[in-house]
Amino acid sequence: MSNARSDSPKGEKRMSKDAFFSTPIYFTDLAGAQALNAQLKKDIREWRRQDPQGTVRSNVAQAGAWHSATDMHTRAEFRALTLEIFEMVQGIYNDLGYDPDYEPVCDSMWANINPRHAYNRHHTHPHALWSGVYYVQTPDDCGLLYFTDPRPQTQVLTPYFDPRRRHPDTWNEVFYQPQEGRLIVFPGWLVHAVHPNLSTAEGDAGERISVSFNFYQIRRDSPVRNPHRKEVVVGDLEPQ
Ligand SMILES: [Fe+2]
CATH (residue range 24-153+167-236) = 2.60.120.620
14-49 pLDDT, tens digit each: 899 998 998 999 999 999 999 999 999 999 999 999
Domain ranges of the chain: 24-153+167-236
What is the value of pTM for the model shown?
Answer: 0.92
95-104 pLDDT, tens digit each: 999 999 999 9
> Exposed, middle or buried by CB within 10 Å (0-12, 13-18, 19+), for 167?
exposed
Whether the predicted pLDDT of 1 surpasses 50: no
200-228 pLDDT, tens digit each: 999 999 999 999 999 999 999 888 889 89
Q: What pLDDT is stored for residue 165 in this prediction?
A: 93
Distance from Cα 14 to the centre of ligand 1, integer Å:
42
What whole-number distance in Å separates Cα of residue 113 and Cα of residue 129?
25
The percentage of residues in the chain with a pLDDT greater than 70, rounded to a whole number, is 92
Q: What pLDDT is stored for residue 60 in this prediction?
A: 56
Whether the predicted pLDDT of 238 surpasses 80: no
What whole-number distance in Å separates Cα of residue 89 and Cα of residue 125?
16
Q: In terms of pLDDT, which residue wins out, 149 or 238?
A: 149
* Calculated CA dihedral for residues 153, 158, 159, 163, nearest 10 degrees: 110
Confidence of residue 5 (pLDDT cuts 50, 70, 90): confident
Distance from Cα 123 to the centre of ligand 1, integer Å:
6
Name which of 136, 178, 145, 118 is nearest 45 in CA terms: 136
Distance from Cα 101 to the centre of ligand 1, integer Å:
28
Distance from Cα 124 to the centre of ligand 1, integer Å:
6
